[in-house]
Structure 1
Amino acid sequence: MSDVTGGEGRELRALMARVPSVERVMASAVFEPLIADYGRTQTLTMLRATLDAWRTDAQAGRASVDALTDTMLGHAVSLRLAKHTQSRVRSVFNLTGTVLHTNLGRALLPDEAVRAVADVLTRPANLEFDLDTGARGDRDDLVNDLICELTGAEAATVVNNNAAAVLLTLSALAPRKEVIVSRGELVEIGGAFRIPDIMSRAGAKLREVGTTNRTHLKDYDEAINAKTALLMKVHCSNYAVTGFTKEVTTAELAPLARERGLPVAVDLGSGTLVDLAQWGLPREATVRETVEAGADLVTFSGDKLLGGPQAGLIVGRKDLIAKIKKHPLKRALRVGKLTLAALEAVLRLYRSPETLQTRLTTLRLLTRPADAMRLAAERIQPALQRMTGDAFAVACEPMFSQIGSGALPVDVLPSYGLTVRLAGGKRAGGQLNRIEKKLRAMPRPVIGRIADGALWLDLRCLEEFDEAAFIAQLEGEGA
């Protein structure tokens, strides 16, 4: 090896003269597979970048002519190409303990939905084509009947998320008019998205009634005036007020609204189509129950408790849905064929409630037995211990998961997983952060959480079919 350490002009010029011709290197046998895989343009760009980096090192006295062989250049360019072409959207291991993790994509789609999306990705589909008449159709027709069947609503429409559903509803039904909402329901969801702000953007005027902890029916009644467009309830899905509280239910509010000739809109947030209590999960009002309680409109998410793709569903009275669909914002907020294909496939699963727990991924994860997670933790523990080294103690421990995405915020699910602490009971300091960063840097990043002096890896979302790949990655075999 001929290293340059002095940077003398004559030696530097002699070293620079050793830089091979770009065209000659590109024509070498080493670069043939790279060009075949990545194309000539990208490969050439990365080769030039590699040689430029070498020249910079040479000027600083850090370069070696060994790096200029075809083999070494091929290796360096291959690494650059792999990094340059790696997708920014990457599959990860979600070991945070949060099933519907907003930052990790929320609900995972079941196989039926994946197959449906793949089908419309590769073949033309009747997105807006009526196969019975041969005329142009309405894309909502692909899922409307199914949504109405499962919710008991007269009509339905779909937009790209629940925030869009609320925005569109207010824009269509309450421009320049008042919307009455309990002060205790003026929620803020992720990204500092607030109900008062969305009302303002929709051109509606917020009329608060009641107090943070107590609102009565007479508060709504006394607030109604000639400018009132609708009464609105917002499900407090990401927090809970306890103690001396009073809430006006939809069933209580609906008669007043009918008497005064006003519609009631309910933003259910997460939204569920089935009673979760039958699987031992916390009770949550279903969309059908809300409709039957007298709500004229209900909005909810597709990618939370429903277990489907990102979408916002609006269900309710036929005349109100028709008015919403005519608003210009509907076209801007509509969903595409991929969302509709996935949503229809997920909704069809609800027709067979006896198999829903195994076929709907979200429900399967939420109801996963703690014993299954404990056994998985025991199988994974040796590999994680070897990866972290003797300086750390890896233990199998019970822990608590949460549903996530604002759904049932005060409820937790008994779970099991692995903890990493500094051996000997010492304070970890920044050493746990280095382990956590190392896990995130793996080919398939591992996302856990640091709390109470330990790194917690909750195994609720690591299903058995992924376990072998996870262990192999820990052992350095890739995944």
Structure 2
Amino acid sequence: MQTKQYNQTCSGEAMKTLEQATNGNETNSLYRLLPSIGDLLLTQPFAAMLQSHSHDAVVQAARAVLRRMKEQVTAGKYTHASLTHRLDSLDSDIAAELIQNASYSLRRVINATGVVLHTNLGRSPLSQAAIDHIAEVAKGYSNLELDLESGERSRRDVHAESLLLRLLNLKSGTQEDTPSRRAIVVNNCAAATFLALHSIAEDAEVIISRGELVEIGGGFRIPEILAKSGARLREVGTTNRTRLADYENAITPETGLVLRVHQSNFSMEGFTERPALSDLISLCKSHGVPFFDDQGTGLVMPLDELGIRAEPTLTGSYSLGSDLMAASGDKLLGGPQCGLLIGRADLIERIRKNPLFRAFRVDKLTYAALEATLMDYLLGRQNAIPIMRLLHIPPAELAERCKRLVNQITSAELSAEVVPALSLIGGGTAPSARLDSWAIALRHAAVQPQSLLFALRQLNPPIIARISEERLLLDLRTVEPEFDSSLPSLLTQAARSSVGAREPGAS
């Protein structure tokens, strides 16, 4: 019995060894089919490539394609016949690699998700005035840090500070002498919050409601920002209810700031309580403690006409007298990515003197875009700011666009219909708000929605859509009308390419 088992084991191991040897021989024979770089460069297709591309670029592209093919051979993805067939199109693959290598990674896309401020897609598009001002400033030298009157070195934030304060005074109806308030610009709102805490409340307590200890995008958490700033967290209230008395009872000589944080990407309903902003500001003034409103969104004007009444505005906080405010430039303000800090002149001056301010400051292109965006508001050109325009598109207008486009879709593989949809503001703003919209719902006769979604992302320009109820939805609220003429042909192209295509990672 033992001898029989031994013989079976030996026989199994021998078969396995033989199989491995056979596979190894087949793999080696497939490797030998792959041409060398030198041989490729002598062929006619590559001579043509060398006429329009450098020698190094062609060699780099050829190496990349051959390396991937070798990895696929190692993984057992080819037979002799299939590899031979693939090699017939090797010149096309390398030509495509050359084009890919000469293409930018950062590209414009068509946002058909219906999320107006989509963080993954760059949040706020810029106005034409902002784009023009960026180009004007970028193509030559500028007075970024030069006072043209005196000829002396100046501060770069003066270019946005006066416009920002003028806008806030105008929209809030505040008749205030602006030198009592100042403003600076850093690279995002998280940096603004950190810098303010580090400058004003290092080694001191910062009072904050437990319901505002939020986590923002990328895993950044308010308690962690506080800890890194050197401030000490003093939590008050509960997750759902914090009263004014909770703040008052927590104020001690160790208190450096009272902080209020925009709840960003979530909302609470039901048995909740939160002090009015005006009451919190009055409490802080009576105790001589600075109040810091991390307003977040940069919203200048209320969104009441859209039925969104709970979203706090930067102008509201300003008019009530917040000692310090922080906001994002690329959310509901509709400008470039940056963090705005506005507040009492003495507090802003302390922040400006912080050595870290230089590390967080923005460049001339950000100032150019911000300056132009603020000027749009001051000149009454709110509709020129893309975010404001997208939020206020009437649903009936979107429905008509959807109908026109559906009538132009001629692909036999696609069925399309116009359906009602709900758009989101996104970007950590008005999390519970929905905007009535209309979308094109697509179904493919042969492939699943995920495959069609993948095919749309491979287009030029890529189309970013979403899936709902086993249909692919294109919400036109966030699709710029300039793409309407090309959208039907792009959808037809995606319908064809999605057949037989497989999304990376799919088995």
Q: Given the two structures, how large is their TM-score scaled by the length of structure 1? A: 0.86
2:49 — aligned with what?
31
Q: Secondary structure at the match of 1:240?
A: coil
* 1:99 match: 116
- The amino acid of 1:45's aligned partner reads Q
Counterpart of 2:52, as a letter, is L
Residue by residue over 1:319-343, the C-alpha shift from the partner in whole angstroms, topping out at 9 and shown as x without a partner, is 0000011111111111111111101
Matched, 1:465 2:501: no
8 Å CA contact 1:299–1:313 kept in 2: the answer is: yes
Query: Match of 2:136, SS?
Result: helix
Which residue of the other structure, out of 422, 427, 449, is the alignment partner of 1:400? 422
In the TM superposition, what are the counterparts of 1:338-353 in structure 2 within 5 Å?
338-353=365-380
Instruction: Answer whether contact 2:115 2:425 (CA < 8 A) is retained.
Output: yes
Corresponding residue for residue 133 of structure 2: 116
Question: Counterpart in 2 of 1:356?
Answer: 382
1:381 equivalenced with 2:396 (yes/no): no
Is the alpha carbon distance of 1:384 and 1:282 closer, same or farther for their aligned partners in structure 2, counting shifts above 3 Å? farther
Shift of 1:135: 1.5
* Counterpart position of 2:332: 305
**Which residue number corresponds to residue 231 of structure 2?**
204
Aligned equivalent of 2:149 = 132
Within 1, Cα distance between the matches of 2:143 and 2:58? 41
Compared with structure 1, are the counterparts of its residues 13 and 113 closer, same or farther at alpha carbon in structure 2 (3 Å cutoff)?
closer
Q: Structure 1 pair 297/15, CA: closer, same or farther in 2 (3 Å)?
A: closer
- The 3 A distance-change label for structure 1 pair 475 and 265 is same
Contact 2:41–2:47 under 8 Å retained in 1: no
Q: Which residue of 1 aligns with 2:436?
A: 414
Q: Residue 14 of structure 2 aligns with which residue?
A: none
RMSD: 3.1
Return the offset for 1:96: 0.8
- Paired residue secondary structure (1:99): strand
Contact 1:160 1:310 in 2 (8 A): yes
Partner of 1:146: 163
Q: Is the 8 A contact 2:124 2:336 kept in 1?
A: yes
In the TM superposition, 1:6-405 aligns within 5 A as 21=39, 24-25=42-43, 30-35=48-53, 39-49=54-64, 61-62=80-81, 64=84, 74-152=91-169, 154-278=181-305, 282=309, 284-353=311-380, 355-357=381-383, 359-382=384-407, 384=409, 386=411, 388-389=413-414, 393-405=415-427
- 5+ unaligned residues in a row in structure 2: which ranges? 1-24, 170-177, 497-507
1:32 and 1:228, CA in 2 relative to 1: closer, same or farther beyond 3 A? same
TM-score (norm 2): 0.82
**Residues 257 and 78 (structure 1), Cα distance of their counterparts in 2 relative to 1, 3 Å cut:** same
Aligned length: 455
The offset of 1:231, in angstroms, is 0.9
The superposition leaves residues 35-90 of structure 1 with CA deviations (integer Å, 9 ceiling, x where unpaired) of: 2xxx3321222235556778997x9634559968xxx6653321111123332212
- Structure 2 CA distance for partners of 1:133 and 1:454, relative to 1, 3 Å: same
Larger deviation: 254-263 or 14-23? 14-23
Q: Give distance in 1, aligned partners of 2:85 and 2:448.
A: 38
Q: CA deviation at 1:384?
A: 4.9
Q: In the alignment, which residue of structure 2 is the partner of 1:451?
A: 468
Residue segments in structure 1 that go unaligned for 5+ positions in a row: 1-6
- CA offsets per residue over residues 271-316 of structure 1, 9 Å max, x none? 2112232566545332222122121001000000000000100001
SS at match of 1:468: coil
Letter in 2 for 1:404: G
